[in-house]
Amino acid sequence: MFFRRQSHNHEEDDSSPRDAKVNELRAALGPLSGRSLRYCTDACLKRYLEARNWNVDKAKKMLEETLKWRATYKPEEIRWHEVAHEGETGKVSRANFHDQFGRTVLIMRPGMQNTKSAENNIRHLVYLIENAILNLQEGQEQMSWLIDFTGWSINTHVPVKTVRDIVYILQNHYPERLAICIPYNPPRIFEAFWKVVKYFLDPKTFQKVKFVYPKNKESVEVMKSLFDVENLPSEFGGKATLKYDHEEFSRMMEEDDLKTASYWGFDSKPFNVSNGYSGAETAPLALPAS
């Protein structure tokens, strides 16, 4: 009991200067309004500070760049019907389970690549990142990525330039949103691709990439520590079945579009919703028996 109380006090002592940094950053940003004010929660400011080692000036610059990007790119206004064609094969989707820490899980299947447009591929992924954030459990700020290499080849891989652009957006406009990225059992030929891609990653992001191989005992333990094997698809060493129903997934995304509009306060934007809003919890993809 004594040690627990001591640890708790230590956390309080540690959080106090960090809270001061958050207040300092908020003051440095100056008055905010509209969506910028909605975006810049205390949790958001903490993520930018963490990404810049709690340097207020650097965090301010980074956050201001994101606010400019969001004002132009408008990720919160992307609707599923605008990117649905990119998702027809299920190359990126939100899983219907969280990891052991309550983090949303995005499943990526690069072997299912079905289009050539870099811009549309990026827009589709940004939409799903925003959707993953929308579906985070309370108190959780991060997501996990699982990459299934079934069917992947040099012919189906996303161009290096597109990957570089995706990494830039993730690192600069979604700092500290990625908890872990697990490339699962990549083929040997992927090593050459990875040698190029890894140079785009900053040290923090690089540390979050954990390669997992089913025949490696330590790898298997990593998966067990992060996921419930009952929910985890067999493609990642679990007992569930990974299947993608584009029509069902589309219905869930359309329902989430209404939640997104409500969150950002522009419910009046027209949607292409086929089944109305059911108010149901969004279930994702990759199904156990659930």
- Tell me whether strands 178-184 and 104-108 are parallel, antiparallel or unpaired: unpaired
Q: Find out whether 185 and 221 touch, Cβ atoms under 8 Å.
A: no
Q: Tell me the β-bridge partners of 93.
A: 107
Q: What does the pLDDT profile of the chain (290 residues) look like in tens digits?
A: 333 334 444 444 566 889 999 999 999 999 999 999 999 999 999 999 999 999 999 999 999 999 999 999 999 999 999 999 999 999 999 999 999 999 999 999 999 999 999 999 999 999 999 999 999 988 899 999 999 998 888 777 788 899 999 999 999 999 999 999 999 999 988 888 899 999 999 999 999 999 999 999 988 898 999 999 999 999 999 999 888 999 999 999 999 999 999 999 886 444 443 322 223 333 333 333 33
Q: Find out whether 171 and 164 touch, Cβ atoms under 8 Å.
A: no
Residue with tokens 């959080």: 15
Residue 207 burial class via C-beta count within 10 angstroms: exposed 0-12, middle 13-18, buried 19 and up: exposed
Residue with tokens 């990126």: 92
Going by the DSSP 8-state scheme, the letter that residue 240 receives in this structure is: B
Q: Find out whether 75 and 130 touch, Cβ atoms under 8 Å.
A: yes
- Spatial separation of the C-alpha atoms in residues 252 and 246, rounded to whole Å: 10
Residue with tokens 């989707």: 93
- Tell me whether strands 104-108 and 92-98 are parallel, antiparallel or unpaired: antiparallel
